[in-house]
Structure 1
Amino acid sequence: MTGQPPRAPRTPRRGGWPAVASVALGSFTLVLSELLPVGALTDIGEDLSVSTGTTGLLVVMPGLAAAVSAPVLTVASRGLDRRTVLWALAALTALADLVCALSRDLTTMLAGRLLLGLALGGFWAVGAAIAPRLVRPESVHRASSLVTAGISVGTVAALPLGALAARSAGWWTAFWAAGLLGLAALAAQIRCLPRLPADSAVGWRDLAGVVRIPAARAGLLATVFVFLGQFASYTYIAPYLERHARFGAGAAAALLLGYGLAGIAGNFLAAASLARSVRATVMASAAALAAVAALLPVAADSAVLVAFLVLVWGAAFGALPLSLQTTMLRAVPAAPERGLAVFVTVVQVSLATGSLLGGVVVDGYGIPASLGVGAALAACAVAVVAAAPVRRSSRRPDPKPDSKPDRRPEQKSVV
């Protein structure tokens, strides 16, 4: 990982932390909206008169749409003020949730989820690169961590909100609430965001060129292994807790809430660690992920140990989205949107593939085997980062009076 994060303007109009907070509210609303159906899947299926398996399309649709929309919207919006793009994405998020709130059939519901996927991919390709432009360089990691914290907070809030709405006022009320949050994010961004001219025009060749950069290639490969491993194993953590670790439904739900809270903490701890070493942060987080997934199958008889490992898992994975995103920002510092557009596509495809892989393994060999697969894939991510060349320090001792300065080009690091 080489280069420096993009420098922020010295005095952005109405920028700074209020602007960062408005973008963070947008990230929270997107992830909340994406995961809302998970907490109310059965109730939605009954009301729409479709099977639970078919209702699962409501979860798959946004991810697949985001994988396509990230590069497409990045190219289509080239040259546009990024503030205008963010306004459009916030409005699209609110519209998607309102369509779902009004839906009474599967087709309309899927249309709303498709709109959400378009906003999701566009935001993580464009919006994630905005935070460094809103604050001073020394605050870049903290600003980025605030935006990505929306992932963890949205993940924690989505399942209980969806479940509570389904069992009280109706599942559609959760989408009404998310739609209002989307409108609030739009209003905040209209009020707080400064003008943000596009860094450069991005074309399809530019996106394809990202994979030719060694730093980006290593970062993307590590991302593939991390998200394959995470979703091959974590997708089935609730059945593991209830069937193998013998947690009751209430205890399992409480532990998963703890997982989400630990993820929030891990996100902010990563922000401090990244300022010291991106390489070490990625390696430590992925190694912890691999260790937890490997230990859980043999720790099932100890509720205390299982609970401890799940909390470590939450903290480790909470650190990885920000760490891997920082990898791409530093790999393509001159045009971060290019790197993030490819990054989002890789994340979404790996997420869906990991869940599919985990399902095949669980059906054939059981849940403990899926945890083993997750551990092996996370270990591969550690190996990718460990094998990357280390950057030599750019600060060399002053040459002796009778010696010539070393003018050899500096060796660059891929992480």
Structure 2
Amino acid sequence: MTGTTGHRSAAAVSGTVRRRGGLPAVVSVALGSFALVLSELLPVGALPGIAADLGVSTGTTGLLVVVPGLAAAVAAPLLTVVAGRLDRRPLLWALAAVTCLADVVCAIGGDLLVVLVGRVLLGAALGGFWALGAAVAPRLVPPEAVHRASSLVTAGIAVGTVASLPLAALVGGSAGWRTAFWVAGVLALVALAVQLRLLPALPATAVTGRRALVSALGSPVARVGLLATSLAFLGHFAAYTYIAPYLEGRAYLGGGAVAAVLLGYGVAGVAGNFLAGLTLARSVWGTVVGAAAGIAVVAGLLPVVRGAGVAVVVLVLVWGAAFGAVPLSLQTALMRAVPEAPEGGLAAFVTTVQISLAAGSLLGGVLVDGYGLSVSLGAGAVLAGAAVLVAAVAGRRGSRAPQRDQVV
């Protein structure tokens, strides 16, 4: 915990950066988040093509989602500690460069092992960005624009989600999945160029490194929130990682229709992100509960309505809107729980998310290969339903917590 002096010091640093950054600098950070999420989710939209090209099963190809999640889970707390008092600007530059390199390695990889090396590099960049980069956006603008700055960065996530699956499906179907990774690499390079031009110096805040992590894990509300985060992401990725095979093999949609549905999912995700920005002002944990409930209901219904094209499309759109609200609402809840150590809260959040993403994708792959897509969707529904219950508990605890846990 920091005292009054620490808060003043952080405010002084933050104030200096705000005068030199502004929304253009925030946009450069949002471009970085867009490139990262686009790169992370590309394999989800191209699993069948990648599996066929590399000569492995669909479940094994799911490792391309599992591996970066594990790497990010390790990188987030590690880089939070190692970064210490370093200026965040060159760190963000390095992370954007690693993202570009990771995509190039995936694009040229001749077998699964080489592609997995690229995914490890991407995971390191993911963990570093969400632990360090996501926390700088509010420092680049005046206090009255903080929520707008945060929503721009999370919009980068949403737009990356929108673009990744249809890009993989469309480009992969015409020019091959490797071309999709080349496109992602170019976009990461563009993000780096914009950050080189627009980002101001970003000195470390008062609470950094190991102290930030300890502070984050010391909050009871944060700990329950991390459990809700784990369950929500486990459930989502146990089902969502294999949505393209479901649409092709269970809903009987062609390649073009799958791409269109996935595009609709992404657009709905953007809408869900901005809707969450409105509902968070009323209830943070209420937003989490509603979003997780949406995922649980959809994942539970999809095995029932398979073959009914219209119903499947509607449910996938609802799923996109529900999950679009999840990252922003959970991130907001955890940062409110530890306002004095945002990097620590984000590092814990990222580690939880990425471990859960990897575990969920791995669980889904095992279930798909062993029992079928319907079982994987059912498991996702159960886990997301458990997240609803835990989030409700976190909301009650948060309402009774000291004021320290309630103010950003």
- TM-score, normalized by the shorter chain, greater than 0.5: yes
Secondary structure of 1:197's aligned partner: coil
Corresponding residue for residue 377 of structure 2: 371
C-alpha displacement at 1:365, in angstroms? 4.8
Which segment drifts farther, 58-67 or 330-339? Answer: 58-67
Corresponding residue for residue 65 of structure 2: 59
Corresponding residue for residue 34 of structure 2: 28
Q: Name the CA distance, whole Å, in 1 between partners of 2:256 and 2:271.
A: 23
Q: Name the CA distance, whole Å, in 1 between partners of 2:407 and 2:306.
A: 38
Q: Name the CA distance, whole Å, in 2 between partners of 1:144 and 1:160.
A: 26
Corresponding residue for residue 3 of structure 2: none
C-alpha displacement at 1:35, in angstroms? 2.8
**1:76 pairs with 2:82:** yes
CA spacing shift, 1:300–1:176, aligned 2, 3 Å: closer
**1:280 pairs with 2:286:** yes
Higher helix fraction (1 or 2) = 2
Which of the numbers 97, 105, 127 marks the counterpart of 2:133?
127
CA spacing shift, 1:294–1:413, aligned 2, 3 Å: farther
Q: What does residue range 160-309 of structure 1 map to in structure 2 within 5 Å?
A: 160-200=166-206, 202-204=208-210, 206-300=212-306, 302-309=308-315
Q: Name the CA distance, whole Å, in 2 between partners of 1:255 and 1:40.
A: 14
CA spacing shift, 1:281–1:365, aligned 2, 3 Å: same
Q: Name the CA distance, whole Å, in 1 between partners of 2:246 and 2:45.
A: 18
Cα deviations across residues 123-175 of structure 1 (Å, max 9, x unaligned)? 01111111111223333222222212222222232233334444555544433
Corresponding residue for residue 329 of structure 1: 335
- Percent identity for Structure 1 against Structure 2: 65
Letter in 2 for 1:290: A
Corresponding residue for residue 100 of structure 1: 106
Q: 2:215 touches 2:341 (CA, 8 Å); kept in 1?
A: no
Q: Name the CA distance, whole Å, in 2 between partners of 1:171 and 1:372.
A: 29
Secondary structure of 1:79's aligned partner: coil
Corresponding residue for residue 399 of structure 1: none
- TM value normalised by structure 1: 0.84
Q: 1:264 touches 1:318 (CA, 8 Å); kept in 2?
A: yes
Query: What is the root-mean-square deviation in Å for CA atoms of aligned residues?
Result: 3.1
Q: 2:251 touches 2:306 (CA, 8 Å); kept in 1?
A: yes
Query: How many residue pairs are counted as aligned between the two chains?
Result: 396
Corresponding residue for residue 385 of structure 1: 391
Q: 2:234 touches 2:356 (CA, 8 Å); kept in 1?
A: yes
Cα deviations across residues 5-39 of structure 1 (Å, max 9, x unaligned)? x9752772441111111011111111222233444
C-alpha displacement at 1:222, in angstroms? 0.7
C-alpha displacement at 1:89, in angstroms? 0.8
**1:312 pairs with 2:289:** no
Q: 1:87 touches 1:186 (CA, 8 Å); kept in 2?
A: yes
Secondary structure of 1:18's aligned partner: helix
Q: Name the CA distance, whole Å, in 1 between partners of 2:390 and 2:356.
A: 16
Q: Which runs of 5+ in 1 are unaligned?
A: 395-408
Corresponding residue for residue 91 of structure 1: 97
Letter in 1 for 2:376: S
Look at both structures and tell me which one has the larger radius of gyration over its CA atoms. 1
Letter in 2 for 1:67: A
Q: Name the CA distance, whole Å, in 2 between partners of 1:128 and 1:166.
A: 30
Q: Name the CA distance, whole Å, in 2 between partners of 1:289 and 1:95.
A: 34
Q: Name the CA distance, whole Å, in 1 between partners of 2:125 and 2:192.
A: 13
Q: 2:39 touches 2:103 (CA, 8 Å); kept in 1?
A: yes
Q: Name the CA distance, whole Å, in 2 between partners of 1:15 and 1:386.
A: 38
Which segment drifts farther, 272-281 or 369-378? Answer: 369-378
Which segment drifts farther, 201-210 or 91-100? Answer: 201-210
